[in-house]
Amino acid sequence: MYGVIGTAVVVGIISVWLIKKFNIRTIHGEKIAFHPKKFNKGQIYGGLIFGLGWALTGACPGPLFAQIGTGALVVAVVLLSAIAGTWTYGYFREKLPH
């Protein structure tokens, strides 16, 4: 998994560098603009909660359905928890600090 994520980071860094260096445009000729992102401490909390859930369950969110399909029905609890967490975030999103 580290290899996949690490490779994605390296490819992303090289791609952004090439886009900026050679002023590469989209296939429709539009300029590609990169905008700085505002840091929010909620990103740290969200990442920790997401990572903790991933570590505790041993289940990456992507293949949850495949794991259930192979008969690992206990993963359904993980799926339902992910759905509940997403719903909870959506419900409280407007009330959270920006």
Query: Are 31 and 48 part of one and the same domain?
Result: no
How far is 98 from 96, CA to CA, in rounded Å? 6
How far is 82 from 57, CA to CA, in rounded Å? 11
Query: Are 30 and 57 part of one and the same domain?
Result: no
Q: How confident is the model at residue 7 (pLDDT cuts 50, 70, 90)?
A: very high
1 versus 36: the higher-pLDDT residue is 36
Which pLDDT tens digit goes with each residue over 39-74? 888 889 989 988 898 888 888 888 888 989 999 999
Query: Are 53 and 31 part of one and the same domain?
Result: no
Query: Are 58 and 44 part of one and the same domain?
Result: yes
Residue 22 lies in domain: 1-35
Residues composing the chain: 98
Segment 68-89 shows an average pLDDT of 92
Query: Are 21 and 45 part of one and the same domain?
Result: no
- 24 pLDDT above the threshold of 80: yes
Query: Are 44 and 1 part of one and the same domain?
Result: no
Contact in structure between 59 and 43 (CB atoms under 8 Å) = no
- Return the pLDDT at 40: 86
Residue with tokens 């920006």: 98
